[in-house]
Structure 1
Amino acid sequence: MAVSVVGDIDQEQIVKTLNSKFSKIRNNSKRKYIEHKIDNFKVDSLSILFDKSAQKTDLTIVRFYDKKGGMQNENDYFEYLKRSFYNRLSKQRLASLSIEQRSYSKGNVGLTTFLNTKGVHQVSADIRPDKLIGGISELMIDAENIERFGFTNSEIEKMKRIYLSELKRKANSSNKRESSAITDEIYNDFFNRIPVVEPSYEYQLAQKYIDKIDSVAILSFIKRIDTRNTRAKYIITTNDSLIAKKLSPEKMFDIADSIKRLPLSRYFKAVKMHKSLVDEFEPKGKIVDKRLIKEVDAYRYELSNGVTVIYKESALDKGKIQISGFRKGGLYELDSTDYSEGLFAAPAVSSSGAGKFTREELSNYLAGNTASVRFLIDKTRSGIVGGSDLSDITTLFELIRLKWMEPKCDSAMFEILKRKYIEDLKMVKKTKGEIFSEEFGKIIQRGDYTTRELSVEEVNKIDFSRLMSIYEKSFGIADGYCFIILADSNSEEIEEYIEKYLGSLPFGKREISYKYNGAAINLDSARFEKNSGDGQKSTVLIVSQVDKITEPLREFNLKLDLAKSVLRKRLLTQLREKMGKVYSVSVSAGSIAIPANLTRTTISFSCTPQDAQLLIDECAKIISQMVADPKGFESELSDARKMLKADNRSERDKNSYWSAFLRSVAYNQDNYWSFATNYDDLVDSITSEDISTIIENYIQKTPKIIGVQNPDNNK
């Protein structure tokens, strides 16, 4: 037996604890270790598992092979490297193919180690139920191509750059490693005989042996494993009860046998190599103003092209830079007739490469480089999010410039995205709970073109020729954009990139106006009850909503956070601990100002059908008590304050916290920079009377919209 303990621990204390718990266990050293043998499958077999809660149809093909004895020394490393490359290259190949005209997704071929005494070769993918035979055949053909021919040199060279880059970053990282990752390595050592090594040593080994990895070495490795002629277990998990009628075991085996005899051509895809991301250009922009934001120790830059940059030096992620950018507008700025095209504009452009690069060429150029950036069009804003190691900072800013200045929209990629959207639309089988939620949602607020799901007919009518103009409306002229940058570097080192790249984004004036001003929300009482649940319990939702915000949004949401925590504690105490009627209670509360003022709270729980109205009435009583007697929940409020402050302290140690906070202040234009630094004081200043007022005005006095989904009596 082995015990592994990893974490921020007191080593001496852990040793004492382990001794006290395990030292008295009798050591039977004479007991012979029995290794239970697992034989290869003697016959092919097919199992179809029906699960109505499954979201997809999944195929897994399992074959066994004799596993070698781990990695005991440096001489075994090359074998380990070939195995790693086989797995990675297979996943890369199938991911690339599934983007194209394939009836499967998330394809994977690889060797796994989940059995300790046997090697497992596994082929898996999600298959379209409406094209079941075609999807299975395509997956098997693509897997067969790998088994026969291996991989191209260009695929291997790309993976080498990625692999070495990952190991180098791991070796040079000064960040603490996750305990779970170390535990996995210890498990791998104990069961699979792959020892735990220092990242720097593994990087040295990879550099030493990686040149030996080529198409011949990988194909030789594949042929030696050779599971093509061994028997297989085919497993299909699905929510489609008709799959068993469409696919018999004999049909599955016939497909597999015919593909083994099928003439195939070696996989090949031409990828043009480029020497640079962007051509040399003359910088046009200038920093026209630089100011210190003392409250958060950040700098605010105004550029001559109307761009704002907020930069904060941060060593929370050593040797890293993060960048995000936004401008108000997004989908809500579009006319209703352009909304469908707007949903596809950013994904289609982002998937089409940029400038002189195709999608594959850009991916190949960036292999092994940490720079990445995504361009997004959200409902209320458009923007980017990206990052890299500081060593790749030039590539990061060049990539932003390339995608901003030279976007392109490939019609073939648009057709692929459209086809996948329609396929997903047809595959989705909504649960009764999801259907109830949708119906109840339409009572809470009237559905419109921004909330409804596009139909197949509407998707087919999307005009490709309009996508680029809609995309450029969100990007194009950079006036009004605000970029948030956090980097483990001082401001002077970053300023040259800000001025050269962000300052040279297109000049011009850009006026923003929202065409969509929010859905029509229901401000009256309503009740929606339906007998459609799968279980034996009723699901109850109590919604309160108003179209007003009576104080600054940031402080208001802070009060709502405390109010929902205190209210949930009170409801749990009464409904669960005293009455024993529920297992749990959920309370959500929040407020937004864009596209329109809206404050909404929701109480939800599950109970027996006969208790539903009793507990709805009990919730109302508890709310009234909290309004009448604020001092009565001082203890719960004190606990809620402590929890909020502890959560905030934990989040402050992450760059994601600071990026989101700086972006929020810039977006809301409230200049409330001290909110982050004075957070604890603000939380402590909120009294029980404040919470009581919030509960009174936004829950107690607000008309209730009640939803109850009872069990389906006709099941």
Structure 2
Amino acid sequence: MQKLTLTTLLSFFLAFQIGNAQEGMKKSLEPSSAIPTDPNVKIGKLDNGLTYYIRNNGKPEDKLELRLAINAGSILEDKDQLGLAHFMEHMNFNGTKNFKKNELVDYLQSIGVQFGADLNAYTSFDETVYILPIPSDDPEKLEKGFQILEDWAHGATLTDEAIDGERGVVLEEYRLGLGPDKRMMQEYLPKMMYGSKYAERLPIGKKDVLENFKYKSVRNYFKDWYRPDLMAVVAVGDLDPATTEKMIKEHFGKIKKVKNPRKREVFDLPNHEETFVAIASDKEAAFSRVQVMYKDRENSTPTKTVLDYRTQIVRGLFSTMLNNRLNELRNSPNPPFVFGFSYYGGTFARNKNAYQSSATTSPEGQLNGLRAMLTENERVRRHGFNTGEFERAKKEILARLEKSFKDRDKQESGRIVNQYVYNYLEESPIPGIEWSYDFNKKVMPTIELAEINDLIKGFIHDDNRVIVITGPEKEGLKKVTEKEVLDLIKEVEAANIQPYEDEEVASALIETLPAAGTITNEETNAKLGFTKLTLSNGATVTYKKTDFKNDEILFQAYSPGGTSLYSDEEFKATTFANGGLSQAGIAGLSLNDMNKYMSGKIVRVNPSIGGFSENFRGSAAPKDIQTLFEMVHLYFTSLNKNDEAFQSYITKQKSFLGNLMANPQFFFSNEIGKVRNKGNSRYVGFPTPEAMEKADYDLAYKKYQERFADAGDFHFYFVGNVDEAKIKELSTKYLASLPGKGSNEKYVATKFRRKDAYHKEVIKRGKDPKSRVQITWEEADVKYDGDEASYIAALGEVLTIKLVEKLREEEGGVYGVGARGSMSKISFSNVTFSISFPCGPENVDKLVAAALAEVEKIKKEGPTEKDLNKVKETYLLNRKESLKQNRFWMSNLVRADQEGRDINKMNDYEKNVKAMTQKDIQKVANKYLDENYFLALLMPEDQ
């Protein structure tokens, strides 16, 4: 009754406010009005019940994003089918009407579509979605793409042989999921999803079913649920909508409508009066978490009307304000958690929402983290938010929406397509950014702080409450009890909680500036479209104006040197302190002060000290570019020193790292690092709580000041929608005014070299039957060659194709496997090549031998022309997209200067890829992949 009353009041309030708004918006803002559908998308339905969505979008060019959404997932499985919704997803890649086993992946690779990176699929409780990006400028490829999508919809062959062949791959994926998180989930999920089928239908299924299910079980699942009335085809990309619609009708219109279809049930999440407390611990758990969930009493309904949409905005404001408070707590001198957040949204059950608060804590601090979250919720319930918080939250939300609005014609299809998938699956609204931005701007002033404060009264209640606590189990660590949790709830409810006190927000970052410098030289590269400025203090500024995004400017900067110029003692003392330097803020403003000042601004800047350079990385909307320059100037001249802020950072790091080495994967990486760096005087390994405690803040701050004392040897880069006149003005004002001392430092190359000899290291850790294999070749002090660097990278791509075919498809021994090769110039020229994969312990020797056999085959015969052409096609497709991305240009501009490369050779890329031969790949394989490799094996502990 209370919810109905609130809804009625909100309707009345909004109607009253809208009555005073502009007449042109009046009708569309009436509370009962339906949320409009984005006019840029065409939605249709075929006679057989299949729904389709089509949107023309020209970014990236000549590419179409296709999705096949099935409104069915693991929740619909019968008892003999546990895991078969996901298994069926796998089977669609292993034989269909028009593509025999492996032909589908083989064909797509031949046109540049990578398996896993591009071509993919996923299965969850209520849905299965297939992902297929394809070129749209070739009619034959386009036709094949739609044929693949059609085959997924109703053309799976599901032969006995193919089903048995895929069991091993799916069981390896099942194996990957084993570990502490799954063991703890099995303890808390029955309480979190109490009385629901969701607690019994994890998509990965059960091992005994996957090993032993009868063929008819997966065929029955396919017959029952892969049908047109439960499907949607989504096509977004660079293709004429009429042509796309024609192809959809031709391929999917012929699928027959199912007579007497099995009912697609919706499964509820029942209510419960109790507060359930689930406490799960595990010896291998790396992290400690606490979560409070208040499940709604009523089932959720789709967001359909303007009032529904307005309610979403109100909830968004609530979450923004509360999370800002939690972030302030996180930055406090004694942070109660490493990270904490709250939100109102969905649960595993599609038709049940919940208000949830969650935090990552130290192993010993779970109750403290829980108390902090409960207290902040209770503080809001009693005292509400205040006006300052409210205004900042509105600015934050509108700034993000404004950025999306300005970039509305530059959004990549891959970022757009999922909104239509979820419109079909969950009836999520799709009004389009134009309407959404306009609606938010007009409605935001009508929202009262009182109605946001009222939300928490409906969010928090004694029933339908679940508290989940997970973390490590180890000697000396006292496990939290259910009684302690329930007592804590009562303690917070009875506590004297004061209102939140808001502090005044700074009006400016910089009060006074030193005299501006000048630009002493300007050079333009007409071929590649960038300009390089030399400033009076010696610094350089390189900028490239692009139209790839309307509201984005990327920023980077570097100066050679970094920690390579530290002594061994200085390096070890400061390595783990450097990350905390910026936590003190700048110009006398704390991190919390800075966050408040940045409300409504789209800008970020982060300084860092790396091994061979000191750096900046950031971005800004064009309107906020001056703020970015101001921040950079202040990071040079006015980095705060604050012991409390640094200690807060150390506390969070120690909390996060407290039990990291209990996890077998982290332990393995750490131990292998120790072995491979034996004799390296500068090796520090993974950070530990003890190492963080020893971090020398005073020395780190002193060294920071040294590293950033001379701006004259810095290189600054800006790529995006830059205003050239503005960049020049701000560069002279904020960068050229910085001290330039002419130091012109160079980094010092690493002295340590690993032995070039075969070595095998076996690490035993963990109780699950899980292993990991890493095979690494490394050769130091080679002569750098740009062509050879390309061949080594291509060798990794070719070998990955062969390893997937051999280890996954033929042997059924892995879920995923990859090879990667690179040649680097910093700090010394070296080659690194690696193969890695997880597998069962019983298969390690066999699969290592198989992987090495594929290496030897390439060394002896070279790659096939077919496989090399797959890699070339992928390279050329990716390059075509990359050339229209700001981050690509930023990376190449910076790397060219850092490594002394001729930037103009970028124009030779396509020619060089096409000229790459099988012999080139074979040659580098023989040159670098010899018998001197490092074999690292993670094996389970002896039981």
Does TM, scored on the shorter chain, surpass 0.5? yes
Q: Which residue, out of 479, 482, 506, partners 2:712?
A: 479
Cα–Cα, structure 1 residues 228 and 25, in superposed 2: closer, same or farther, change >3 Å? same
1:696 to 926, 932, 939: 926
For residues 375 and 856 of structure 2, the distance between their equivalents in structure 1, rounded to whole angstroms, comes to 66
Structure 1 residue 384: deviation in Å? 0.9
The match for 2:885 among 645, 651, 654 is 654
Structure 2 residue matching 1:275: 3-state secondary structure: coil
Q: Please report how far the alpha carbon of residue 278 of structure 1 lies from its aligned counterpart in structure 2 after TM superposition.
A: 1.8
1:58-457 paired onto structure 2 within 5 Å: 58-66=289-297, 73-74=305-306, 78-100=310-332, 101-114=334-347, 117-173=351-407, 174-176=409-411, 183-184=418-419, 187=422, 191=426, 195-223=429-457, 225=458, 227-240=460-473, 246-270=479-503, 272-281=504-513, 283-343=515-575, 346-446=578-678, 447-457=680-690
| Cα-to-partner distance string for 1:657-678 (whole Å, 9 max, x where unaligned) | 11001100010122x2133221
> Letter of the aligned partner of 2:598 in structure 1?
L
- Matches of residues 661-700 of structure 1 in structure 2 within 5 Å? 661-670=892-901, 672-700=902-930
Q: Secondary structure at the match of 2:760?
A: strand
The 3 A distance-change label for structure 1 pair 75 and 381 is same
Runs of 5+ unmatched residues, structure 1: none
Q: CA deviation at 1:614?
A: 5.8
Matched, 1:547 2:776: no
2:874 aligned partner: 643
Spell out, residue by residue over 1:490-536, the C-alpha distance to the aligned partner (whole angstroms, 9 max, x if none): 64453222333222222212242545624331222222235546454
Map of 1:494 onto structure 2: 727
Shift of 1:52: 5.9
| Partner SS state of residue 296, structure 1 | coil
Equivalent residues of 1:345, 1:471 under 8 A apart: no
d(CA) in 1 for partners of 2:800 and 2:741? 51
Q: Give, in angstroms, the shift of residue 159 of structure 1.
A: 0.7
Query: Which residue of structure 1 lines up, in the alignment, with residue 935 of structure 2?
Result: 706
- Matching residue's letter, 1:695: A
2:701 is matched with which residue?
468
Structure 2: 5+ residue runs without aligned partners?
A: 1-228
- Cα distance in 2 for partners of 1:621, 1:176 equals 44
- Which deviates more, 341-350 or 239-248? 239-248
Are 2:750 and 1:517 equivalent residues in the alignment?
yes
Q: Which residue identity does 2:742 align to in structure 1?
A: K
The question of whether the paired residues in 2 share the 8 Å contact of 1:140 and 1:259 is answered with: yes
Change (3 A) 1:705 1:276: closer
Task: Kindly provide the amino acid, as one letter, of the partner of residue 505 in structure 2.
Answer: M
1:314 positional shift = 1.0
Other structure's SS at 2:639 match: coil
**In structure 2, distance between residues paired with 1:211 and 1:709:** 58
Deviation for aligned residue 1:53: 5.9
Residue range with higher mean Cα deviation, 81-90 or 447-456: 447-456
In 2: Cα distance, 1:610 partner to 1:397 partner: 57
Contact 1:545 1:599 in 2 (8 A): yes
Could you tell me how far apart the structure 2 residues matched to 1:574 and 1:109 are?
46
SS of alignment partner, residue 713 of structure 2: coil
Q: In the superposition, relative to structure 1, how do residues 27 and 488 fare at CA in structure 2: closer, same or farther (>3 Å)?
A: same
Q: CA-to-partner distance for each residue in 1:307-365, whole Å, 9 max, x for gaps?
A: 11222121111232221111111122222222245435553332222114332222222
Displacement of 1:556 in angstroms is 2.7
* Alpha-carbon distance change, 54 to 76 in structure 1, aligned in 2, over 3 angstroms: same
Contact 2:792 2:924 in 1 (8 A): yes
Distance 1:611 1:464, change over 3 A: closer
Residue 545 of structure 1 aligns with an amino acid whose one-letter code is E
Q: CA contact under 8 A between 1:62 and 1:122: conserved in structure 2?
A: yes
Q: Which residue of 1 aligns with 2:212?
A: none
Among 278, 287, 292, the residue aligned to 1:47: 278
Distance, in Å, in 2 between the alignment partners of 1:461 and 1:568 is 42
Corresponding letter in the other structure for 1:556 = E
RMSD (Å) for aligned C-alpha atoms: 3.4
Distance 1:514 1:490, change over 3 A: closer
Go from structure 1 to structure 2 and tell me whether the alpha carbon gap of 1:15 and 1:258 turns closer, same or farther (over 3 Å shift).
farther
Shift of 1:426: 1.8
Quote the Cα distance in structure 2 between the aligned partners of 1:250 and 1:102: 25
TM-score (norm 2): 0.68
TM-aligned CA deviation for residue 430 of structure 1: 3.4
> More deviation in 431-440 or 559-568?
431-440
Instruction: Give the deviation of 1:694 after TM superposition.
Output: 1.4
Equivalent residue for 1:559?
791
In structure 1, distance between residues paired with 2:512 and 2:838: 63
Q: Relative to structure 1, is the Cα distance of residues 161 and 289 closer, same or farther in structure 2, using a 3 angstrom cutoff? A: same
Contact 1:348 1:409 in 2 (8 A): no
Assess, with a 3 A threshold, how the Cα gap between structure 1 residues 635 and 477 changes in structure 2: closer, same or farther.
Answer: same
**CA positional deviation for 1:411:** 1.4
**Cα offset for 1:375?**
1.0
Residues in 2 aligned to 1:611 and 1:467: alpha-carbon distance in whole angstroms: 47
1:539-581 C-alpha deviation (Å, 9 max, x unpaired): 44333222222243x3332111122233344455556666676
Give, in angstroms, the shift of residue 3 of structure 1.
Answer: 5.1
User: TM-score, normalized by length of structure 1?
Assistant: 0.88
Contact 2:784–2:829 at 8 Å: present in 1 too?
Answer: no
Task: Give 1:73 shift.
Answer: 4.4
Cα offset, 1:415, TM superposition: 0.9
Q: Residue 152 of structure 1 aligns to which amino acid in structure 2?
A: N
